[in-house]
Structure 1
Amino acid sequence: MKRSSGARMGATVALSAITLALITGCSSEESDDSKSTGKDKSASPTQAAKALSAAELEKLLLAQGDLGAKKYKVEDGDDTLPKSKTGVTSEQAECEPLVWAMAALPPGETDAHASNTVSEAPASTAAADPEDFADAFDINVTFVGLSSYEGDGAEKAMKAVSDGVSACAGGYTFTGEGETTKVTKVSTAKASGQGDESVAFVQAVDMDGAGPANFSTEVVRKGNTIASFYTLNLAALDSSKAAEIPAEIVTAQLGKLK
């Protein structure tokens, strides 16, 4: 049975309070069937790696035109994403890397990070009927975060994410923008297998009693840089499936990393 538009609106408000659903992950029945955390191609030592600065990472983020201006709109994440990890926390420390990854923040120990949002261009520019307000949100928005690490910090960050997926499988709570959100389940999902390591997970987020909504996150390491991707579609909150992270966004972003 579909949730009412009121429930969807309530979910939208809940997500917006956490800065437009910087929350991610969740689990769906489909993701339960996928036991893969993606290809782990790690092996190359990076002990001498030097972290890039935030300014350098900004230049490596996807820019307008990288994916086709007519299909995607790329915007700065400063106004929609948290600026530091102190703004998004969990009492369960082992679950925080999951929260940070979905919020486009570094999942590991570094201050060098940058983020932006990549939105699908709407199919129509016509004004939405007030009664179909929720349908106006039927576009995918992907939060992209880049973070860079010294030495083997990137590998440690990836391990923290993988460990968090296992440790937090039964759910956890986190706080963002003063609002507490309950994740009822975390499941592994099939990752893209790109980069040197990739981990994907789906989280089921409780929508204030209206049932869970499912959200996907993927974290990819390329050298000593980590890219995180979280895709949200507010109009799809009724669905038992999480919005898919567009493969072309992952490929294009990783293609800009050294």
Structure 2
Amino acid sequence: MALSLAQRTQQRKRAAAAAAATPQNQPMAGSGAYELQMAQLHQHYQQLKGIQSGQGKEELKAKLLPDYAPYVAGVLASGQGAQDEVLTTVMVWRFDAGDYQGGLEIAAYVLEHGLTMPDRFARTTGCLVAEEVAEAALKALKAGGTFDISVLAEADRLTAGEDMPDEVRAKLMLAMGRVAAAQVDPDKPNPADVHSLEVARHFLTRALELHAKCGGKRDLELVDRQLKKHVGQSD
């Protein structure tokens, strides 16, 4: 049953108080606000286990996420960096549900305070954030859709100092390059095309430097050809 506005406000305040009282790197376990959320998380895990479809799981997570919004808001507002399985799980669920801005909002806090991912996640936090966003962008483009390059840029900024395999960083660079290139319509040239193509070339080149087999070689060749065409037109 959905909580009333008053109940959501109280939930946020309790979460903020608990987060403010728990020192960095110490577990939130023991806090009443946290334990309630963990109990809810366990119930939701059982629901998710009953669904085999990946898309079905994503749709259910999107429906469940509002239940955690007051808690997350309270922790982000007042938290000192305590270890928090609810927070890191909700971050991943937001990515899974397509709420990339919401996921990155939590990621900023998680990375700033060095929170670790629960044991069931094999990747480090920085690696997970970079790869989740990159794969979402590449998947969207492959399906003929679009992706907000500012989301990729924010993921890159947040994870710039994080250690991860070169292949993962290359995947993020590849995604940024492809999204920038996709902003150019060959049939409707405009002055902004050159900038978009130069941005695309920068990130595609970086992707190939990090991982020669990242799949960006042909993309870079196409971008270079388009840039030469634009230069020829401006002469």
For normalisation by structure 2, the TM-score amounts to 0.24
Which structure features the higher share of strand residues?
A: 1
Q: Which has the higher contact order (CA 8 A, sep 6+)?
A: 1
Which structure features the higher share of helix residues?
A: 2
Q: Based on CA coordinates, which of the two structures has the bigger radius of gyration?
A: 2
